[in-house]
Structure 1
Amino acid sequence: MALSRRKWNNVIIIASVLMITILTLLDDKTSQLPDDAHPLFDDVSSLAQLQMNELWLNRGSSNWQCHPKVLNCQAWGEAWSKIQLSPLPDQQGLIESDTASRPKELLIVIASNEQAQPWSWYEKLGLLKSPANNWYLIPPSQREALSPVIKIGTTKNSGS
């Protein structure tokens, strides 16, 4: 059964409207924070420093200071200082089933404590594990901003 040009146009229009509707609903659901999400840092216990591998972040007197390779220093600092998390039950089974997910080790220094705390960040899964082995889910709307934009190193070629 062949469709006329008009019927094909109608099929394309309906498919486009359905796709836009689905994408709008997904965006609405993922941009909102869950009801059980709470800030990790507050005014009393604010983020003072964060270190992820060789990259670091430090709260200066007026703005954030970062490793020279980090291009989005202010946005990266704001994302981490305003992070909200939802507590989760133990996620060890989920982590073991996803062998491709390796945690990034974070050292977090809170202003009121001054002692570095080692956290594990499962970036791909959106999970944080505290030093006390508590698990937290990072809302999808906040995950992208938590990764720094890094300057790619260039090598100078000697002319020939």
Structure 2
Amino acid sequence: MALSRKQWNNIIIFACLFMVAMLTFMNNKTRNIPSDAKHLFDDNAPLAQLQLNNLWLRRQASGWACAPEVLNCEEWAHAWQTVQISPLAAAPTGDNPLEIIIQIVDIQDPQRWLYFPLEGALKSPAANWYQVPPSLRDKLQPILNAKPAVNAEPPA
């Protein structure tokens, strides 16, 4: 049985409305921070220094200092200082973790954490797993200087 043009148009309209409704629902669910999320750092134990692979940030008397490659030093530092996490029951299945070395004010020994950026998962030194809400994940990655390609020809 063939569908008429009007029936096809109705199917397309319904599919579009369904897609908009699903995207709106997903946006509302990922934008909100879960109720069980807690700050990783607080006023009693603020972040003093953080190293993410070869990139670093450090609290100084005048504000934050970062590796020269980092363009958004203040925003990156603020994102880590205010990051919230929720406990995870099971370890994620992601690959390629980034090592994070965290130094907290007034604590001598640095802490080594693992960060899985795609899943937003953090593994503590005590092997506990935490989830960063999706709305906070993008800001945890620094914006880096763009380096020109070697032997690139200038535009004409």
Equivalents in 2 of 1:136, 1:145: separation in Å? 17
Structure 1 segment 73-152 matched on structure 2, within 5 A: 73-91=73-91, 94-95=92-93, 98=94, 101-152=95-146
CA contact (8 A) 1:90 1:134 kept: no
Equivalents in 2 of 1:124, 1:7: separation in Å? 41
Q: 1:158 to 1:120 in 2, by over 3 A?
A: closer
> Which residue identity does 1:123 align to in structure 2?
P
Q: Does 1:44 align with 2:44?
A: yes
Length-normalised TM-score, structure 2? 0.85
User: Which SS does the other structure have where 2:102 is aligned?
Assistant: strand
Equivalents in 2 of 1:5, 1:158: separation in Å? 53
After TM superposition, give the deviation of residue 109 of structure 1 in Å: 0.8
After TM superposition, give the deviation of residue 140 of structure 1 in Å: 1.4
Q: How many residues align?
A: 153
Equivalents in 1 of 2:107, 2:147: separation in Å? 35
Structure 1 segment 6-17 matched on structure 2, within 5 A: 6-17=6-17
> Which residue identity does 1:110 align to in structure 2?
I
After TM superposition, give the deviation of residue 12 of structure 1 in Å: 2.3
Deviation digits for residues 47-96 of structure 1 (CA, Å, limit 9, x no counterpart): 111101111112233432211111222221111111111122352xx44x
Q: Does 1:70 align with 2:70?
A: yes
Instruction: Indicate the larger mover: 59-68 or 106-115.
Output: 59-68
Equivalents in 2 of 1:58, 1:27: separation in Å? 34
After TM superposition, give the deviation of residue 125 of structure 1 in Å: 2.1
Length-normalised TM-score, structure 1? 0.83
Q: 1:156 to 1:102 in 2, by over 3 A?
A: closer
Instruction: Indicate the larger mover: 58-67 or 36-45.
Output: 58-67
Q: 1:137 to 1:158 in 2, by over 3 A?
A: closer
CA contact (8 A) 1:44 1:112 kept: no
Deviation digits for residues 106-131 of structure 1 (CA, Å, limit 9, x no counterpart): 11011232432111112222211111
User: Which SS does the other structure have where 2:41 is aligned?
Assistant: coil
Q: Over the residues paired in the alignment, what is the CA RMSD in angstroms?
A: 2.1
